[in-house]
Chain A
């Protein structure tokens, strides 16, 4: 009856390909066709410029509360790049770059932040779930989708995003537990952006890394530089391949940083210092990817300027489509059930009368004469 260390067959790795200055580790550089690199760069720039424009639109009252993804573009984009179109993508709510890459038109994103369900219905041929507001609940849906992929046996996989805060939820644990028990083709990506609104990562969990939570589910954990799109692609390719070949789920912790506020409804100066943010500005993904592109001869100032002009026009056109769309209040009754119930039909009629019928003529009571 000795007391000895159990040798667990699980490990946690760290992976980065571009360093903080954008210099390349040639041995780890993934093989990505130039055309794809250009496309990825365009989407990263589009995501950044669109993010900046959304902030302005929010300040002008043209959309509602907005959660910027500034500084976090590399992880969703890298994951979306590796997924096949028929694969499934289950987001949290800060993965706009992935949605754009997978074919969501810009105005859909505006609809979502602009308060219309039209922004929560994915385009017809895109197997994405819409943004999910209750933190980490999407993890369970993703495990279910991946389980369905396994049962359908159609070579599809599912990728899911959750934040560092989300890992504290029971849903994250339950989803990872089910996923590993049933060995479903799921890639769970934790975007560790260091902050859950005002709560710093170190107060979220006593674990040294979030990746090591994988060990509890009997799989390896991988920590990756989430601001390094090349590293994300390397990690995601490995996890996707594993899922697709029956190897089961993976857990990837992508280390990134939320450069902006949680949403436009909060002011991060209340809970974090400028000194903390500054070094992350230098390590942000767009700057590093741009340096890599320039070093590879795939980008120069002229191309960048042309790209920016093109993207600006694209965003302008989308905003116009967004602002010229009408929204029918009667839609609220349409999708509650496959067929509206008699009660809902009556309530829709009640709304129609309230909106369309003139008010009854005032019938003032005669003043009583005493």
Chain B
């Protein structure tokens, strides 16, 4: 599954990697290797993450470098991967758990909801779960059922967790490093559609990005498009079309974290543009967009010049892949809604 001509392990084979153009898979792999070299208490555990290097090859080469005690091919049981990782935390380890697909994270959900997010509070800080739960996230890879969900709102609703969604190789590497260093449990979503979609310059030195902070992905003054994950690509594409075809200069925000939410960034942009569109691939009802809009209404209502629009997945099950494109928000749907918002 490696991209033509590029061995994902090549970035890791030299002690001082000369890093340049990388896919998200390679960048994530680099972040894992860097962290594991620095801290012997970091473990990687999951299904097929060892010898096989993960079904998406994100953990490729780690087993060879760090051995079977630190890169652990577990039996097939998501609840046990997270449940035993909790116990490992109490002995001072920093497990990074891989859920093979986000759709399979739910057997582990009762440990995430019932324990991972609660232990610090339950024990007044005596026991904590500084683990990372990585999940390939979202649709768009023509996979079978349960391989295309976008459950970020489900996790973002759980106090005690931090929920991160990368949108490119460089921020994926920086955010994963931050997640690994975080004293709090982090749900780390990796958009499958972006794993090998494009390459980015990734600097040699490890870098981090603060969790809970978004970024302005494109500056503009006419309208704010708020997005994250794979949908950010559609939003950026739409912004170019809006500029070229409709003369609309959209600002695009990349949230990167959906819990905590960068409320300051959102409201600063909204106060500048007065018009807002939220785009994500997850279903609309009680989605992250609903919370984003609530925060805008609470803090910037009087700056609004048009009703806020949402371009999202529908409130349906994401269809099997023959028709999944109709479900996933694309640039055209975003452009249509943006034009209406600006013309209101």
Contacts and interface: CB of A to CB of B under 8 A. Distances in A.
Interface stretch (A2-10, A43-51, A116-124): A116-124
Interface string B125-141: 11110000000000000
Nearest to B261: A343
Interface stretch (B22-30, B78-86, B172-180): B78-86
Interface stretch (A71-79, A141-149, A229-237): A141-149
Given A142-B87, A178-B80, A336-B160, A122 B123 contact: yes
Interface stretch (B46-54, B114-122, B308-316): B114-122
Contacts of B111: 137, 140
A171 B122 contact: no
A143 B123 contact: no
A177 B260 contact: no
Nearest to B87: A144
B56 interface: no
Contacts of B85: 144
Given A137-B110, A143-B83, A337-B160, A120 B91 contact: no
Contact of A151 (B93, B126, B127, B162): B93
Contacts of A332: 121
Contacts of B107: 170
Given A129-B90, A342-B263, A175 B84 contact: yes
B77 A141 contact: no
A145 B92 CA distance: 10
A152 B86 contact: no
A342 B212 CA distance: 10
A334 B75 CA distance: 36
Contacts of A134: 110, 114-115
A338 interface: yes
A166 B100 CA distance: 27
Contacts of A121: 122-126
A130 interface: yes
A331 B260 contact: no
A323 interface: no
B183 interface: yes
Contacts of B75: 174, 177-178, 181
Nearest to A90: B87
Given A151-B69, A152-B92, A144 B110 contact: no
A147 B84 contact: yes
Contacts of A271: none
Interface in B64-102: 69, 74-75, 77, 79-80, 82-93
B326 interface: no
Contacts of A168: none
Contacts of A147: 84, 87-88, 91
B148 to A, nearest CB: 25
A341 interface: yes
A177 B80 contact: yes
A178 B82 CA distance: 12
A336 B87 contact: no
A144 B83 contact: yes
Interface string A45-79: 00000000000000000000000000000000000
B34 interface: no
B324 interface: no
Nearest to A346: B263
Contact of A145 (B80, B91, B183, B260): B91
A260 to B, nearest CB: 26
B159 interface: yes
Contacts of A158: 87
B87 A130 contact: no
B132 to A, nearest CB: 14
Contact of A140 (B83, B93, B182, B183): B83
A178 B74 contact: yes
A360 to B, nearest CB: 19
B90 to A, nearest CB: 5
A329 B74 CA distance: 41
B240 interface: no
Nearest to A118: B124
Interface in A164-194: 170-171, 174-175, 177-178, 181
B121 A117 contact: yes
B237 interface: no
Interface in A334-359: 334-338, 341-343
Contacts of A140: 79-80, 82-84, 86-87, 111
B184 interface: yes
A143 B121 contact: no
Contacts of B90: 88, 129, 141, 144-145, 148
B327 to A, nearest CB: 31
Interface string B170-208: 000000000000111000000000000000000000000
Contacts of B84: 140-141, 143-144, 147, 175, 178
Interface of A: 88, 90, 117-118, 120-122, 129-130, 134, 137, 139-149, 151-152, 158, 170-171, 174-175, 177-178, 181, 331-332, 334-338, 341-343
Given A90-B87, A174-B83, A335-B121, 11 more contacts: A120-B122, A134-B110, A134-B114, A134-B115, A148-B87, A152-B91, A170-B107, A171-B79, A174-B79, A178-B80, A335-B125
Interface of B: 69, 74-75, 77, 79-80, 82-93, 107, 110-111, 114-115, 120-128, 159-160, 162, 182-184, 212, 260-261, 263
Instruction: List the 9 shortest-distance A-B pairs measured between CB atoms, nearest first.
Output: A144-B87, A140-B83, A148-B91, A144-B84, A174-B80, A145-B87, A338-B183, A335-B121, A121-B124
30 contacts: A120-B123, A120-B124, A121-B122, A121-B125, A121-B126, A129-B90, A129-B127, A130-B123, A134-B110, A134-B114, A140-B80, A140-B82, A140-B111, A143-B84, A144-B83, A148-B87, A151-B69, A170-B79, A174-B77, A175-B80, A177-B75, A178-B74, A178-B84, A334-B125, A335-B124, A336-B160, A341-B212, A341-B260, A342-B260, A343-B260
